[in-house]
Structure 1
Amino acid sequence: MSLKVDTDGLDELARNAHELSKQKEVSIYELMNNQFVSHHSKFGSLDELLAAAGIHNQQQFEEYPDEKLDKFIAENTDLSNWTSMQEDAMTSWLSKSLGF
């Protein structure tokens, strides 16, 4: 008696993982796309969210105090701080990239 296993899903997962391994950088806008931001906040985009925090350019973002950003994220999203927002965005992006 033999057992036949359908590996199509595993093959697709392997292809997706291989393609993902070629990508070295992912922009924050790709991670925190409009769908992600609007799902976790009242804002429609990352730019809108950051603007509401008073961040309008890269320099302001780099100089913005971590504690202040953490507080803003906790008060204006369903996430606890900036780090958890980044982690959740990465998890979501990886899941989509792998085909889940």
Structure 2
Amino acid sequence: MPIKLDTVSTSPRQLLKKAKRLDGKGVPLNELMPSGFIQKHSKFDSLDSLMKASGFNVQTEADFKAIPAEEWNQFIALNTNFDSWHDMLSEAGRLYIHRQLFT
């Protein structure tokens, strides 16, 4: 969903300052996909409950990276409103940036 900048109360200077803070920043998945996002797009209460339901043992970033992409995408497609993990990440990222810039 596009955002009309002329309807935003944040000044261009404030936007630029906030955008610079985001540059190169890594974001933990729990922050990128807060409980409200997960609840809206799946039957789960949180990202942790979604991960547990997947059947994959995810304790570390390395564990997550070791999940076969095809199996993870299939789980996401069957258990969320998204067709793939990429689609889910893209929407979560878009909303995260919006929150950071406009709130």
Instruction: Classify the TM-score, shorter chain.
Output: 0.7 to 0.9
User: Counterparts in 2 of 1:57-68, with a 5 A limit?
Assistant: 57-58=59-60, 59-68=62-71
Q: CA RMSD in A?
A: 2.0
- Name the count of aligned residue pairs: 93
SS at match of 1:55: coil
Runs of 4+ in 1 over 3 A off after TM superposition: none
Structure with larger RCO (C-alpha < 8 A, sep 6+): 1
User: Counterparts in 2 of 1:33-48, with a 5 A limit?
Assistant: 33-48=34-49
Where in structure 1 are there 5+ consecutive unaligned residues?
Answer: 1-6
- Percent of counterpart pairs with the same letter? 33
What is the CA distance between 1:64 and its match in structure 2? Answer: 1.9
For 1:82, give the aligned amino acid.
W
**TM-score normalised per structure 1:** 0.79
Considering only CA atoms, is the larger Rg found in Structure 1 or Structure 2? 1
Distance 1:68 1:35 in 2: 25
**TM-score normalised per structure 2:** 0.77
Where in structure 2 are there 5+ consecutive unaligned residues?
Answer: 1-8
> Deviation digits for residues 57-86 of structure 1, max 9, x if unmatched?
235423321111111101110011111111
Contact 2:18 2:100 survives alignment (8 Å): yes
1:79 to 79, 82, 87: 82
